[in-house]
Amino acid sequence: MKERFMAKRSLLVGFGGFLPDRVVSNAELAERLETSDEWIKTRTGITRRHLVGPNDTAASMGAEAARRALDYAGLTAEDIDAVFVATATPDQAFPATAVRIQAALGMKQGFGFDIAAACSGFIFALSTADAFIRSGQIRNALVIGSEVYSRIMDWEDRATCVLFGDGAGAVVLSASDEPGDRGILSTHLHSDGTAGDLLYVDGAVGQPDKSGHLKMSGRDVFRHAVGKLSSSVDEALEAEGLSYADVDWLVPHQANIRIIEGVAKKLNLPAERVVITVDRHANTSAASVPLALDEAVRDGRIQKGDLVLMEALGGGLTWGSALVRL
């Protein structure tokens, strides 16, 4: 029987991201939609997005992000006990994208499963992995967000198709019994199914007569977003007896520059302490937070010891936050 290691905390030790090669600008979209670069930028902050090629999948992108995270951590796939994948766009109804990634990495040990919480998925997956580590069931985990939203877009609907992009991000979590306060301090998850019709995909395997396209009531989602995200942030800080001034970096879900700025304003955080990738990546759903985190760690903005606050809101509605000291 495998001996349990009772960890004090889960440390983030590896970071990786992957974006498809194809870059689509607002101007390119404006050639076939009744829109413009200025219209999109003004309302969303987005200037371009990456879209998958014919050979890209949620599993292939997630596996590449995972390889980069493992390389950063100095670990191999053999060191990993579990793979948690947040995705709203799996390649198949089953098997899970997580086990496809296991296979791609050459893992024959451990387990993996998918988590469906739309754009909040990475926060939900991070919390799940942290719970498994703290319980002593696993020591090392891959937490991945991977999305191919371009395959569920109605490319005739300018209100939605301009907002999203494809990509994958990953982190490696490792158990630690070191003294101090590094690692995941707390996570806070919420959902409200009564608001499910504000943001959803019209159909699934069990409903073949539906469109299979993303549908969104943009104004209503925006109205919920700032308030729910701000309350989730407050909840995380209060749980640790911390204040806004203690936060070094906000790494938000990259849905819309106005939502990001609204949350930052409520936190009284200056723009230079907010990681923003929505301008170049658009909304990559569950991949957006780990992609932004990977970028800011690798370019040196986020340093060891920094207090990082992550938050996201997605269809469900689901929302949540994670407070981490790197």
Look-up: residue for tokens 């982190």?
171
Do 80 and 206 reside in the same domain of the chain?
Answer: no
Verify whether residue 283 is a known catalytic residue: yes
In a shared domain, residues 217 and 130: no
**Identified catalytic residue from 26, 140, 256, 283:** 283
> Which is the catalytic residue, given 119, 140, 161, 224?
119
User: Does 196 lie in the same domain as 125?
Assistant: no
Give a yes or no: residue 2 inside a domain.
no
Asked which of 176, 192, 221 is the last residue of a domain, the reply is: 176
Judgement on whether residues 165 and 216 belong to the same structural domain of the protein: no
* SS3 assignment, position 19: coil
Identify whether 71 is part of a domain. Answer: yes
Question: Is residue 116, in this structure, part of any structural domain at all?
Answer: yes
- Which residue range forms the structural domain that includes residue 227? 183-325
Same-domain check for residues 108 and 139: yes
Tell me whether residue 268 is one of the annotated catalytic residues. Answer: no
Say whether both 143 and 289 belong to one domain. Answer: no
The domain boundary, picked from 127, 154, 176, lies at 176
Same domain, 156 and 207: no
Overall domain count for the chain? 2
- CATH number for the domain harbouring residue 145: 3.40.47.10
Task: Please check whether residue 273 lies inside any domain of the structure.
Answer: yes
Are residues 301 and 273 part of one domain?
Answer: yes
Dihedral sign computed on CA atoms, order 127, 128, 130, 135: positive
Question: E strands of the chain, at which residues?
Answer: 9-18, 22-25, 48-51, 82-86, 111-115, 140-148, 166-176, 183-191, 199-201, 214-216, 249-252, 307-314, 318-325
Known catalytic membership, residue 161: no
Nearest to 210 by CA among 197, 223, 201, 219: 201
- pLDDT value, residue 266: 82
Instruction: Verify that 53 and 101 share a domain, yes or no.
Output: yes
The verdict on residue 271 lying in a domain is yes
Beta bridge partners of 11: 174
- What distance in Å separates the CA atoms of residue 157 and residue 179, rounded to the nearest whole number? 52
Domain boundary, last residue among 176, 199, 226:
176
Q: Which of 50, 213, 224, 253 is catalytic?
A: 253
Query: pLDDT tens per residue, the chain (326 residues)?
Result: 456 666 789 999 999 999 999 999 999 999 999 999 999 999 999 999 999 999 999 999 999 999 999 999 999 999 999 999 999 999 999 999 999 999 999 999 999 999 999 999 999 999 999 999 999 999 999 999 999 999 999 999 999 999 999 999 999 999 998 888 899 999 999 999 999 999 989 887 666 677 889 999 888 888 888 888 888 989 999 999 999 999 999 999 999 999 999 889 888 889 999 999 999 999 999 999 999 999 999 999 999 999 999 999 999 999 999 999 99
Do 320 and 209 share a structural domain? yes
Question: In this structure, are 160 and 14 located in the same domain?
Answer: yes
On whether both 243 and 192 belong to a single domain, the answer is yes
| Residue 3 maps to a domain | no
Whether 1 is in a domain gets the answer: no
SS3 247: coil
Is 4 domain-assigned? no
